[in-house]
Amino acid sequence: MLKKLIQNKSLPFLILRYITYLVTFVKINLLAAKLGVHDYGIWGFIKLIWQYLSFITIGIHFAVNVLIASNKGNHILIKRFSNSSISIAMVLSVMLIGLSIFINLLDTNLFPKYEISGLFIAVISIGMIKNINVVNINIDRNFNRLYTIGLYYILSEVLILPVLFLTSQGNLLSWVVYATLFIEIIFLLAFIIKRSFRFSFEFKADTIVLLVKRGVKLLLYNYSLIFMFLSVRTIVAHFYTVEEFGEYSFVNSIVDALFVAFSSIIWVFFPKMITKFSSSNDNEVLPAIDKMRQIYIPLLFLSLLCVGFSVFVVHYFFPDYNNFQELFIFMLIALGIRDYAFGFNTLIIAKGKEIVLAKTALVSIIVNTVITVILGWMHSPLRFIPVITIIASFLYSIAAIRKSYSVFSTESRINLLKTDWRVLVPIIFVLVLLLSDQFTLITYSVVFVLFVLLNLQIIKKAINNSIVIFTHKND
């Protein structure tokens, strides 16, 4: 079995990703401790800008991934898609960086509340270079070049640690930003140099149109749920103080790192799932999705509940972050609910009908945004903000699953809740504990034991099935 595990590149990559998460967790906590609540609020705002800049590439990183996965046997098309997507990302980057230099020359301070005018050009440059690197990553993942990708992620975190130890608090934020810029440039060069085929700028109209059309649809779908979380952060940044946004950003940074850690399994197998689903009969795919969900969903929520225990330790190390405990658990649950439509979303993408779910998500986004704006305008306690996101995410997931059934199956009813109630009921109990101010180590432990008892056989089966998957050598 050990030999099979070594032969399978996916498992070593996942181990590397989880080591990366541990490093990320250390980095986030060190940053929060050294920057303080106010400066961490500024750092959170910088990361918010990077997320908005990721929209600039209009989803071509999603498109190139799916198009390569769907045309694995056509080397000419693969090269054309790859070169064109990188070329588009580079042109957009040059344009935005040029615009940031022009704005800086005009001495225009766009965000006076967050005091980033001196770092504005560097922040924009990082965001745009990140976009190019993401395109490169989505190309490489189709060819199982997981070690290079894993190295990018872990070094991006590790190389920041010396800066945290060697820099004084007054200059720390600037050093972290410029260190991040240096890292992104180095990996941009590395990705291009290590490409299996020679990169050249390519701007064929039909290829660009295909990338953009598919990219926009995939952007609307993939970012629909992401935008729900992003809009909440934007509202908090606007209506609450820099310090309160610092608290929210600190918790959000940890949960985002957790999201990357938990979704790494999906990330590795996504191109393979696209290839399989795009060529399979619909009647064969839905049972396959059900089997995958029986592994992923219970293990996801079990892992999240285990991580939830850390809140009782971390809270004591950051007494200035008053809302940490409630925000962390609420966001942790939102993280699980965000992935509740697992399997069905991949099927939609494989069949090229992601716009169906994008329309469904729009309603959830509008409802979530409107209610959050009202809470922000009323300056409601910060801990209530992510509760709305949990509700909106769950409604979105249910609607997404229903849409999938209606599109790909003659049966439109949902049977998942009949089996998933064992997972969902304990999660509801956790929410009740938080909202009723009865959340303690003892009460949380009781709910955790309840979850394990209800799902014991399911968890055992899921673990056994996971072992089978990872001991099977990748094709």
Average of per-residue pLDDT across 338-360: 70
Task: Give the per-residue pLDDT at 222.
Answer: 66
| pLDDT bucket at 1, cuts 50 / 70 / 90 | very low
pLDDT, tens digit (0-9, with 9 covering 90-100), for 255-266: 777 776 666 555
Q: Mind listing the pLDDT tens digit for each residue in 11-46?
A: 666 677 778 777 887 888 888 888 888 888 888 889
- Check residue 448 and give its pLDDT: 92
Percentage of the chain lying above the pLDDT 90 cut: 7
Q: What is the pLDDT of residues 280-317, one digit of tens each?
A: 566 666 777 777 777 778 888 888 888 888 888 876 77
| Residue 208 binned pLDDT confidence (cut-offs 50, 70, 90) | confident
- Compute the half-sphere exposure of residue 314: CA atoms within 13 Å on the CB side of its CA: 24
pLDDT of residue 475: 46
Can you give the pLDDT at residue 3? 42
Compute the distance between CA of residue 151 and CA of residue 140 in angstroms, rounded to an integer.
13
pLDDT at residue number 260: 66
Is 271 a residue whose pLDDT tops 70? no
Helix%, strand%, coil% for the chain, nearest 5: 85, 0, 15
Give the DSSP H or E segment for 271.
helix 242-279
Residues in the chain: 475
Write out pLDDT tens, residues 54-96.
Answer: 888 878 887 887 787 777 667 777 788 888 888 888 999 999 9
* pTM for this model (two decimals): 0.70
